[in-house]
Copies of this chain bind each other. A is one copy, B any other.
């Protein structure tokens, strides 16, 4: 590839990044339905036609934005997985990463929900769906690796299928994030700290599997302090 072509490729990538950046802002502000590509075009100071040179459809754009966020989340998971300690402490660090992400991208889960419907998914391009799947499996594998290690060292019962453990953690985390953010559920359940809800529910599921050490047998507050100090010093939301 010639030098000129390389430069053009760089410029193209920079422009795509610019569109994604402003797109993310508008998507979070307005939701997918109300995201207006004419407005986005005005904002990034390119024509709508140019946006369509990068993204096949509005859904394609939204999926690309979501994938970017997912990549960032996977990055936090990776940092968390480097935490040293008992397997349950390491899992806790991943849970911490998940909350850190939720705090920084407060409304990301609303977008993620929009994606889950088949009628959305099928309007995005093949390639972008692949990219999204790639990041999703990164997240899964980080979780699953720690679970596998836990079974190996006997912190989890030998009968537990690792994917089932990972799945239960994914499900409870997703569900807790959504539920704890709903105003009506907040009211009914008297929630004042949604993040605390997510972490408590993750603990419940780990305890449910009999993942040692159980909540009652160990000082996880100390673990949280270490996670915060060693891995996520930027996590000002964590009061430990």
Neighbour of A208 across the interface among B140, B178, B188, B204, CB < 8 A: B204
List CB contacts (< 8 Å) of A167-226 with chain B: 167-168, 170-176, 178-180, 182, 184-185, 188-191, 197, 200-201, 203-209
Main secondary structure of the interface of A (DSSP, over half): helix
A5 contacts chain B at the CB level, 8 A cutoff: no
A42 contacts chain B at the CB level, 8 A cutoff: no
What is the CA–CA distance of A206 and B31 in the complex, to the nearest angstrom? 35
The residue in chain B whose Cβ has the minimal distance to the Cβ of A121 is B183
The copy count of this chain in the complex is 2
A52 contacts chain B at the CB level, 8 A cutoff: no
What is the CA–CA distance of A164 and B204 in the complex, to the nearest angstrom? 11
A contact residues, range = 35 or more
User: Shortest distance in angstroms between A190's beta carbon and chain B's nearest beta carbon?
Assistant: 5
List chain B residues, Cβ under 8 A from A207. 207-208
Q: Are A172 and B172 in contact, with the CB atoms below 8 A? A: yes
What is the CA–CA distance of A189 and B137 in the complex, to the nearest angstrom? 10
What is the CA–CA distance of A184 and B113 in the complex, to the nearest angstrom? 15
* Residue among A184, A208, A209 with most chain B CB within 10 A: A208
What is the CA–CA distance of A114 and B116 in the complex, to the nearest angstrom? 9
User: Shortest distance in angstroms between A114's beta carbon and chain B's nearest beta carbon?
Assistant: 7
User: Shortest distance in angstroms between A140's beta carbon and chain B's nearest beta carbon?
Assistant: 5
Neighbour of A168 across the interface among B133, B136, B140, B201, CB < 8 A: B201
List chain B residues, Cβ under 8 A from A117. 31-33, 110, 113-114
Q: Are B175 and A172 in contact, with the CB atoms below 8 A? A: yes
Neighbour of A180 across the interface among B30, B31, B171, B188, CB < 8 A: B171
List chain B residues, Cβ under 8 A from A125. none
What is the CA–CA distance of A152 and B97 in the complex, to the nearest angstrom? 37
Known: A113-B116, A118-B110, A119-B31. A166 touches B189 (CB 8 A): yes
Q: List 23 A-B contacts (CB under 8 A).
A: A31-B119, A32-B117, A32-B119, A33-B33, A33-B117, A33-B119, A110-B116, A113-B114, A116-B182, A136-B188, A137-B184, A140-B185, A140-B188, A140-B189, A163-B190, A164-B200, A167-B180, A171-B172, A172-B175, A172-B201, A173-B175, A174-B178, A201-B205
